[in-house]
Amino acid sequence: MKMHDLISMARKQNRSALDEQAGKALLARYGVAVPLSVIVAGADEVAQKMKPLKFPVVVKVMSPDILHKSDAGGVKVGLKSAAEVEGAIRTMMQQPAIAAVRIDGFLIEEMAPAGQEMVIGGLRDPQFGPLVMVGLGGIFVEVLADVSFRICPITRLDAQEMLAELKGAAILKGARGRKPVSQEAIIDVLLKVGGENGLLTQHAADIKEADINPLIVSDAGAVAVDARFILS
């Protein structure tokens, strides 16, 4: 599906944001790796629909009313069989925060290889236009606010500098016994999002806010496992 279709479809449904699968489809169009996924309406469809997927998988609730799926009890990782997926969906449907809201379905997707969780984001400055942001995931973002920003479009050198500026930059190189991650893979995603032909630069008028959280980066590459785009 074309970028334009993804956005016009959301608008037609009076939605101010792309759902997770549409957001990932948009990233995939710009060459960012995302997990292979299917959507089911409920547990009954699982066995049939998830045939193309390899275990282990993740299940996530899809709802325009839920911003943080984990907080609502709407994410279950590491599922190893169709029966486990069915069970996870049934349990989710009983969570108070899920039972009370509109549900679009459940996203079942392959697990990304383990790695460092990063955040890549975008927002629009009234004066400077689209900005792209990168940070280390988890407490680095939430507590330490360790992020760096640039105005789009960024160059490869900008992307390299953005990573080097992070206070936690040493983590990426394998500090404290961690495995080093592919900085090239992060730079590559930063360019696909904020570079000259990148998503934010090309669609500055449509996208108000972008949030890839997390991008999971290993020594082999980077996969965007959660994506949220708020439309202008």
- Tell me which residues touch ligand ADP (CB under 6 A): 35, 58, 60, 68-70, 75, 77, 109, 111-112, 117, 214, 216, 225-226
Which of the stretches 75-83, 106-114, 139-147, 212-220 binds Mg ion when contact is defined by CB under 5 A? 212-220
Closest distance to Mg ion from the beta carbon of 71 (Å): 10
Closest distance to ligand ADP from the beta carbon of 76 (Å): 9
Closest distance to ligand ADP from the beta carbon of 153 (Å): 27
Closest distance to ligand ADP from the beta carbon of 227 (Å): 9
Binding of Mg ion by 109 (CB under 5 A): no
Q: Is-contact 62 103, C-beta < 8 A?
A: yes
Binding of Mg ion by 226 (CB under 5 A): yes
Tell me the β-bridge partners of 110: 57
- Alpha carbon distance 140, 145 (integer Å): 6
Site of tokens 């988890």: 138
- Alpha carbon distance 212, 23 (integer Å): 9
Closest distance to ligand ADP from the beta carbon of 185 (Å): 15
Residue closer to ligand ADP (CB basis): 22 or 152:
22
180 contacts: CB under 8 Å, gap ≥ 6: 172, 173, 174, 219
Residue closer to ligand ADP (CB basis): 69 or 150:
69
Which of the stretches 86-94, 101-109, 111-119, 220-228 binds Mg ion when contact is defined by CB under 5 A? 220-228
Q: Is-contact 198 175, C-beta < 8 A?
A: no
- Alpha carbon distance 136, 117 (integer Å): 6
- Alpha carbon distance 23, 19 (integer Å): 6
**DSSP output for 122-137:** EEEETTTEEEEEEEES
Residue closer to Mg ion (CB basis): 63 or 201:
63
Residue closer to ligand ADP (CB basis): 21 or 201:
21
* DSSP three-state, residue 100: coil
Residue closer to ligand ADP (CB basis): 152 or 223:
223
- Residues forming contacts to Mg ion in the complex (CB under 5 A) are 213, 226
